[in-house]
Amino acid sequence: MRLRIAIVLIMGCGVVAGWACGRAAVDRAAGSAHITRPAARYCDQPARLAAGAGVAAWRLGSVEFTSARSGVALTAPAIPCIVPPGGGTFIGQTVRLAVSDDGGLHWVTTGSVLPDTTSSAYPPVQVAAVAGPDVWVVSDTGVMLQTRDDGTTWARLRVPAPVVAAASAGGWLWVLSCPAVSGSACRPLVERMRLPGGPWTRTGLVTPDLATPLAQQGTQLVVSSGRAAAVAVSGPHPTLAGTTDGGTHWSTRPLPAGWSRLCEPDYIGSLVTAEPDDWWLLCGGEPAAGSSAKALFRSTDGGRTWTVASSLALSGPARPGSLPGEDGATIAAASPDLLWIATLNSLSVSTDGGAFWSMIQVNPLGYPGQFDVLSGTAAWLLAPGAGLWQTTNGTTWQELGSSPPPGHGGPGP
């Protein structure tokens, strides 16, 4: 069973087909990194990617693997170019499909440039589903796109816009949209389609009486099978809802007791599922100095009842095995026991359902990422701007390819 999880992205920049994006020499004579003038010249230009060009993994914005060796990705629409003084800036990058046949070690672009994309860093592009030469993606403008020929041509799909999220499992593609209903409010709608190309079916209303602000970025879709899915809606009236019959009926779920006390107001947190009945909700309080109090709630009955799996307070020293405190946390579940949390600076694992956490890797580049979970032990972590990591046993991760050179997508040495 394929598991789909939430995405948090920041984009990256690199060298492809011999053309440097912001590539510059680093002068360490003074004991610190200094990006020379050529970087400023290249950073004024967009990064151009031709079809058939090799591309570094840290320039990707989304990945999905269909087997241990085969993966499909999208290049990120915006990439950071770090030029002192003042830190860095984002510049546009061509968005194309990229494919890998060696588990993500090497990537090659393919097809034509995706339509309906901008050069913004957020919201990200997203690979939603892959079935042979057919690929479905969500653009950063909320348009659902499909190619049936490996990216050579693209078609806009007639689903309600804007598309907020999409996910696939059990041979079905689910799409969450939030079309405007009045003023600055929209109402979440879910449609689904049997892969690789059946008719679209509108499911029942997720929240019949709820409208959420259009600008709200906390609307999530999590799919655990062809019939089971969950939606989390943040905002003034945060709501959880789930279905186990393919969307014919949705029912609201109670928020965990203590959620409003432990978590940031108006943001429901990151929702993940391992199986239809195993749910986790990771939320955090207001950040302070790069960290925040956190709580991880667990449900074993599809969100109907909740318990606290683990928590972290900032008022005293953290106990051994507590949740990582850094902001920018992304959580993924591979099974009812195996979970990961990636923060801006670390990767942690739990093998007991989220009660005890161990840091297993440090990412010194400071970029959050997205997980792609293929099976109970096989998964990838993409940190756009930093790199791509892989695990085949659930607890040991290795970086695929090389990290970006200093001054390109990372904060520098």
Name the least confident of 26-30, 77-81, 183-187. 26-30
Per-residue pLDDT band at 118 (split at 50, 70, 90) = confident
Across 76-214, the runs of DSSP E, i.e. the strands, are 78-82, 88-92, 97-100, 108-110, 126-131, 134-138, 144-147, 155-156, 163-169, 172-177, 180-182, 185-186, 189-194, 200-202, 212-213
Q: What does the pLDDT read at residue 383? A: 84
Per-residue pLDDT band at 221 (split at 50, 70, 90) = very high
pLDDT digits (tens, 9 = 90+) for 325-337: 887 788 999 999 9
Distances in whole angstroms, Cα of residue 3 to Cα of each of 84, 135, 161, 276, 387: 41, 17, 25, 10, 22
Q: Is 262 helix (H, G, I), strand (E, B) or coil?
A: helix
Q: What does the pLDDT read at residue 181? A: 84
Strand-strand pairing, 144-147 and 172-177? unpaired
Residue whose pair of structure tokens reads 């990636």 in the numeric block: 342
Residues 6+ apart with CB under 8 A from 230: 221, 222, 224, 240, 241, 242, 243, 253, 271, 273, 279, 302, 303
- Round to whole Å and give the CA distance between 157 and 152: 16
Q: What does the pLDDT read at residue 182? A: 80
Question: Would you say residue 186 has pLDDT above 80?
Answer: yes
Q: What does the pLDDT read at residue 106? A: 95
Q: What does the pLDDT read at residue 196? A: 93
Q: What does the pLDDT read at residue 402? A: 63
Q: What does the pLDDT read at residue 328? A: 73
Per-residue pLDDT band at 215 (split at 50, 70, 90) = low
Could you check whether the bond before residue 411 is cis, i.e. omega within 30 degrees of 0? no
Question: Would you say residue 52 has pLDDT above 70?
Answer: yes
pLDDT digits (tens, 9 = 90+) for 242-261: 999 999 999 999 999 888 77
- Round to whole Å and give the CA distance between 401 and 175: 32
Distances in whole angstroms, Cα of residue 196 to Cα of each of 86, 128, 134, 154: 48, 12, 7, 15
One-letter amino acid of 108 = V
Q: What does the pLDDT read at residue 34? A: 27
Share of the chain above pLDDT 90, in %: 48
* Contact status, residue 156 vs residue 115, Cβ threshold 8 Å: yes
pLDDT digits (tens, 9 = 90+) for 375-397: 988 999 998 877 899 999 999 99
How many residues are given for the chain? 413
DSSP 8-state code for residue 386: T
* Contact status, residue 382 vs residue 388, Cβ threshold 8 Å: yes
Per-residue pLDDT band at 27 (split at 50, 70, 90) = very low
**Mean pLDDT over all residues of the chain?**
80
Domains and CATH numbers, the chain: 15-400 (2.130.10.10)
Q: What does the pLDDT read at residue 309? A: 94
Average pLDDT over residues 161-184: 90
| Residue 272, phi then psi, degrees to nearest 5 | -135, 155
pLDDT digits (tens, 9 = 90+) for 194-211: 999 889 999 987 776 666
- Give 282-330 as a DSSP string: EEE---BTTB--EEEEEESSTTSS-EEEEEE-SSSPPPTTPPP-BSS-E
pLDDT digits (tens, 9 = 90+) for 90-111: 778 899 999 999 999 999 999 9
- Round to whole Å and give the CA distance between 290 and 34: 25
Task: Give which of 219, 227, 170, 238 is closest to 203, Cα–Cα.
Answer: 227
Question: Would you say residue 86 has pLDDT above 70?
Answer: no
Average pLDDT over residues 69-77: 94
Of residues 361 and 138, the one with the higher pLDDT is 138
Q: What does the pLDDT read at residue 403? A: 60
Q: What does the pLDDT read at residue 38? A: 37
